[in-house]
Structure 1
């Protein structure tokens, strides 16, 4: 269970960092700034990695999170990096990650 707790902390931390990186940025700013893109993609990768470390029991208990999608997004970032859709990354960072952090906050 300690490993699950650390993984959840990692997920919330990375989601929060991604939000901080985009604080005050527009979608246009994001699309023009390769460093911000790379930072957000890296946070999504870390979130997916941490999700893969969660036990099945933890994933079952926290059933409000679409774990397959979280892990799947990581796989896209890692294995298809040269074809990453920036709109998808933006939407993930501005919509999905804040929701993810809020839903996991009670568990950390």
Structure 2
């Protein structure tokens, strides 16, 4: 693993945890009805995508170990550049379905660094 990788993995992992925390205890209707929740989650998704974009550039081998890394980065690009087309129901699916798995993967990669 390249020297820059652990910090980028940590950033992505922490942002993932924050996004899940924001949605914790809420239903999809709560999320869809609260623009401030949406904005907070979108910001965390942007951080995740940005960190993984930098990881892909700095350490492509480690980045490729993250399932759907290219789709995660693409999601960040949509949030930043095509913000008017964001499907908040899809964002909810990401928070509740995809992020818990991503957190597990990122934590496993970070534990490899700690074991060294």
> Normalization by structure 2: what TM-score?
0.87
d(CA) in 1 for partners of 2:100 and 2:3? 24
d(CA) in 1 for partners of 2:87 and 2:16? 19
Task: Map 1:1-108 onto structure 2 (within 5 A).
Answer: 1-54=2-55, 55-60=59-64, 62=65, 64-108=66-110
d(CA) in 2 for partners of 1:81 and 1:32? 17
d(CA) in 1 for partners of 2:37 and 2:46? 14
SS in 2 for 1:19: helix
d(CA) in 1 for partners of 2:44 and 2:93? 14
Residue-pair matches, total: 106
Unaligned runs of 5+ in 2: 111-116
SS in 1 for 2:4: helix
Unaligned runs of 5+ in 1: none
> Normalization by structure 1: what TM-score?
0.93
d(CA) in 1 for partners of 2:108 and 2:93? 24
Runs of 4+ in 1 over 4 A off after TM superposition: none
The higher radius of gyration belongs to 2
How large is the RMSD of aligned CA atoms in angstroms? 1.0
